[in-house]
Chains A and B, each alone.
Chain A
């Protein structure tokens, strides 16, 4: 009846500005990382540690590019032992499973064979089904992950932006669904931070600037050799 834990962070949750209802609805994050960190200073030290543990695994900027699958699996296992609540562990496992499935789709598109039992390449309860149903478009997991068939179609047709948007929306909606069960507790704060990260990544995308940068890199890489491919003058 007292439910102290469920309202532990009523102040912090109300201190955080609202996020947009959809990841593509916002042009920028409602607050900067600096402002967010200042507000997250209200977390208890052990909760702050849990959040940091989760962020280390979930956010790409914390993962070195040279990390191997084994390395990532070891880090995930270590993080799962350090997280104190089942709700946080479930959040992490769900995200790892999503990455595992997307990784499997990409692997299959490259024409590689199904991973072997001994191979460490992913995480979660989906590994066995992926291995056994490698030839099926949704690895026989369509009932659990309805987005999988759509993701596979985007990948096969080379629609990478659509795939990225689908994954963003899927993760965002999953977090929104979870947030309905958590109003003023620590999980509510964690879900806010996870959605903030998604929004931060999405709003930092600048297609025009990226295209210009790509052109510059291409010109730099080719040097003067791009003239080799120009049509000879008559």
Chain B
């Protein structure tokens, strides 16, 4: 195996693991941001704690998509499969990470808004749900496109 082949194989393995690693990376940051907001809100109010905690863990879903995506991409790495694994894996991972982080921002804002106006709890989650929707698009199309990568 020459140097180029070795690099390609390495990147392909990284591509397989990228959705999970980058998704988890984003979830760590997103949950931390929303979690801190939830703790702050809980210190200031007397009720509705479960709501705040529930909202603060929303950005963890990207890690779940990452787990499924990594299992789906996991196959023998060859010259034929490497390109697809690198492209799909890295691009999906980056989007999953970005969506988790920004969903954390949305959740923190939703927590703050709910604290001020509890009646807008459902509506305040709309931006976080929209961000989640983009992560789901990426996940679904990764599943669809990964079927075209040869399974040896």
Contacts and interface: CB of A to CB of B under 8 A. Distances in A.
Given A2-B29, A7-B108, A12 B97 contact: no
A1 B101 CA distance: 8
Interface string A8-50: 0011111111100000000000000000000000000000000
Interface residues of B, number: 22
B40 A15 contact: yes
Contacts of A10: 33-34, 36-37, 40, 108
A15 B108 contact: no
Query: Quick one: which of A1, A7, A13 has the most chain B CB within 10 A?
Result: A7
Contact of A15 (B33, B41, B101, B105): B41
B44 interface: yes
A67 interface: no
A12 B116 contact: no
B98 interface: yes
Interface in B64-80: none
A97 B23 CA distance: 47
A7 B36 contact: yes
A96 B108 CA distance: 33
13 contacts: A1-B98, A3-B105, A7-B105, A7-B108, A12-B40, A13-B37, A13-B40, A13-B112, A14-B36, A14-B38, A15-B43, A15-B44, A183-B109
Which 6 pairs from chain A and chain B are nearest by CB? A14-B40, A11-B40, A15-B40, A11-B36, A10-B36, A14-B41
